[in-house]
A and B are shown apart, each in its own frame.
Chain A
Amino acid sequence: MREMLKLFIAVVVFSCLSGGVLAAIQNVTRERIEYQQLKFVKGPTIKNIMEGCSNDPLIDRLKIVDEAKEMNLFVGEFEGKRNTVAFETFGKGFGGELGVIVGVNLENDEIIGVAVTTHSETPGVGSRAKTDPDFATQFKGLSILDPFKIKTDGGQIDALSGATISSRGVCGAVVEAGEIYKRLKPTIIEKAKEKQG
């Protein structure tokens, strides 16, 4: 029995030490990792959506807490006015969570661009939601407050052939973005002004 206890304590002590070390390192690197992820994963997509903006949306990002979840919102400046915002939402795809960045014009609620970021869809089938530019451009110019659905579900978006569930996932994420946008719009405008001022 004593021996068992000794072995048990040895493993527990080891695991605790390891946990402590890792927690410390995670603490130190968290900030940098977050920035790197933004830069390499979302950076190019955001630049694409916010084409022609005169600032760096990655630096001019707002952190707003929405329903106990902190969100990064990227503000773009066009013609001297900070009038666009882009943020990421998630929908349910075929292979799991499907991340979508939606850019919205704050003045008329129009979508300026939609792009898939992270996904685990089938390569060559559902992954076209990210790679096929014709799919994402369908959202452009529509109002973010519209209900988005694929045509088979009675909506306005042409689904990718063979990838109905992935297409539905993207629509779901955009609808979700609409909900968040409705809730946060006043806060976004206020904070964006603050930064500019």
Chain B
Amino acid sequence: MTTVTARRPRTRRNVELALLLLALVVAMGGYGLVGVTQDGAWPPGLLGYGAGLAAIALALHLVVRFTAPYADPVLLPIATALNGLGLAMIHRLDTARSTDAAAFAPRQLVWSAIAVLLAAVVLVVLRDHRVLQRYTFTAMVTGLVLLLLPLVPFLGRRINGAQIWIGLGPLSFQPGEIAKIVLTVFFAGYLVTHRDSLALAGRSLVGFRLPRARDLGPILIAWLASLGVLVLERDLGTSLLFFGLFVAMLYVATERISWIALGLALFVGGAALAWSQFSHVQDRVRAWLDPYATDVYDAEVGGSFQLVQGLFGMADGGLTGTGLGAGRPDLVPFAESDFILAAFGEELGLVGLFALLMMYLVLVERGLRTAISVRDGFGTLLAGGLAFVVALQCFVVAGGVLRVIPLTGLTMPLLAYGGSSLLANWVIVGLLLRISDSARRPAPTRPRDETEPDTAMTQVVRTA
């Protein structure tokens, strides 16, 4: 018998290492330039910061080498670069405050370490992403609870108008960030088992297949939940994020445009209804449509001061920006979290903003590529959903800051200050690394029987 031994695909781990070193140089360069601009010397904290970030990133690189050797080599460097640049900008915003007490950068570095550790735990503990499918309904319950947690009296906190936070003593947390992972797991698990009935059943109307009434249940529940978030938690972003994620995954699972049309119609109708009924929704829309009007700009509640200041800062940055440390991004409230993109736009200019958006786009498209190449349906839906949720969050946040859509309370993944957001997004990176490893790993060779296949009595059919 002649055997053709397929060449083992290269693991590309050294490519990842090289890109990772580049990412570290970029991030440390950003951190260092803040000091050079402001004090004319490399900042004293540069070595500690650089060593911390490098240790975190290289540790995860080693974990990937041993537990997911075939993982996509671009994911980790991009996540590290975004995290590192975010740290540099948060440090830069710290320097604009006169007191050291409120320094955010050291805390963000600690959160980064915890988040990367969690991503490593995901890679070590979860050796096969298909295990997650067993927890489909646990994920559903957990996700809904997390989503609605900010509404619990005494626990929920309203920050900057949106009630998407919970507080425990001095700690506050955005449960929606974790919910987006858990709910993606649920959607993937649910849709992979129900996709056929959702896709094929139902009557056809002018080439448009209408779903059966009983199949409408899940989309209606998702719709009501997202409307509840919009109205009760006062955040269009979270609402749009979850409903958009659900509709996108529904479409990927069923391959039917009708679900998207139905979903969009439901969302637009629901949002219009919420707009006509609730004054805080109207405030947000007014601040979006007419932010420069004096009464809107000066309004204490639901005004457009933050949005307009962000736009002013970005306009001031122009094409090439003021340079790191030379602008005034600190004039924008919540510049280190909600408006970190405006801070980058001001100091690194349009060029820097493009570079950041391109990094996100590459990250997302690598995730979608993973979804296409992975062999199991659950993995496809999970990777596709996770990649899309990152993309959608970027759009919702950046679109809010750039006045494409009304402003929301979400933050840029990996870049912005915030522990919950960092944890969630590094876990997403960990999951994508895991799934991409299984996508690129050569198919396991069947254990060879002594007998020739033709002569065997039975053949084991392996399901992927």
Task: Say if A and B assemble together.
Answer: no
Q: Measuring CB to CB, which residues of chain A are less than 8 angstroms from any residue of chain B?
A: none
| Residue ranges of B at the interface with A (Cβ–Cβ < 8 Å) | none
